[in-house]
Structure 1
Amino acid sequence: MEKNRTSQTNNSTGANSGGRSLGRLILQLRRLERRPQTFGSAGPLTPSEIHTIEAIGTEGGILMSELAGRLEITKGAVTQLIVRLEAKDLVARSPHPEDSRGTLISLTAKGKEAHTAHEEVHRAFYEQLQEQLTEQEIEVFDTCIDKLVTFLKK
């Protein structure tokens, strides 16, 4: 009976600790989400702006509706982001060649530079992580992140 009570206490303590850790992670992510960063010559960009650039990608034009789907936001929100990015000369709009109702969004040279700089930030972060974790810990980390993202999408 005493062993069972100890096991329950340990599980409860582990859950509380995990909850606190998750809470700290979410708070830190929220702080990062508000802080603009500079990527190449693009100047300061908010996380939503650089993630829009990332979602557009460097391979060519993307429809506004497809971009909204990739970012999981409304077309109106995408339009607002595109207006800001156009003002910074990071994206360009062009008419769709086959559908007169469609507008394609693509990165300018400056936008592509910001995209490359953002990828470099991610690569450098992952390299730093690899220096601090074993290969097995990285596999567990990746699995946990995938599961957390799936859980948060529910």
Structure 2
Amino acid sequence: MSSDNNKGSRNLGRLILQLRRLERHPHTFGKAGSLTPSEIHTIEAIGYEGGVLMSELAARLAVTKGAVTQLIVRLEAKDLVTRSPHPHDSRATIISLTDIGKEAFKAHEEVHIQFYDQLRSQLNEQEIEIFEKCIETLNDILRK
């Protein structure tokens, strides 16, 4: 293995460690206050528009329905989401964001935009294209 391959592998390892570190620490998102990464990513998966079925939310997050239920209980206690019965299926529950939940969603989106703007300020267009392709490929590999 060449030293370039070792360097790339080491950098990828460092990136994964940094991401894990970020995933352990709560962040503040507007009036919603301090949210754990799993809480804000649940809000992100619910989405700003409309509601989502509890089962669909579990699929989006790739977790069990039980894990989603625990997250929803925490988010309800923080007044970030509401549960309502499905209008045509009495067994199904629809999860929606409250106004404060929508604010947290927007604040989280803004964090992503600011990060990406910072990245764009340090890379040229060709480097951005390569970066985006690399991220897409990495996501594809990790999904397998």
TM surpasses 0.5: yes
Indicate the SS of the match to 2:2: helix
Partner of residue 42, structure 2: 52
1:75 to 2:65 alignment:
yes
Q: Equivalent of 2:82, from 92, 97, 102?
A: 92
Rounded to whole Å, the distance in 2 between the matches of 1:133 and 1:12 is: 26
Rounded to whole Å, the distance in 2 between the matches of 1:91 and 1:127 is: 29
Q: Equivalent of 1:137, from 121, 127, 140?
A: 127
Identity %: 73
Partner of residue 17, structure 1: 7
Partner of residue 120, structure 1: 110
Post-superposition CA distance 1:12-40 (Å, at most 9, x none): 21211111001100000000000100011
Rounded to whole Å, the distance in 1 between the matches of 2:122 and 2:3 is: 26
Rounded to whole Å, the distance in 1 between the matches of 2:116 and 2:72 is: 29
Rounded to whole Å, the distance in 1 between the matches of 2:5 and 2:125 is: 26
Q: CA deviation at 1:61?
A: 1.2
TM-score, L = length of structure 1: 0.91
**Structure label with greater radius of gyration:** 1
Rounded to whole Å, the distance in 2 between the matches of 1:53 and 1:46 is: 11
TM-score, L = length of structure 2: 0.98
Post-superposition CA distance 1:47-81 (Å, at most 9, x none): 11101000001111110000011111111110111
The residue type paired with residue 126 of structure 2 is Q
Indicate the SS of the match to 2:67: helix
Rounded to whole Å, the distance in 1 between the matches of 2:42 and 2:2 is: 40
Q: Which runs of 5+ in 1 are unaligned?
A: 1-10
Q: Equivalent of 2:19, from 19, 24, 29?
A: 29
Q: Which runs of 5+ in 2 are unaligned?
A: none
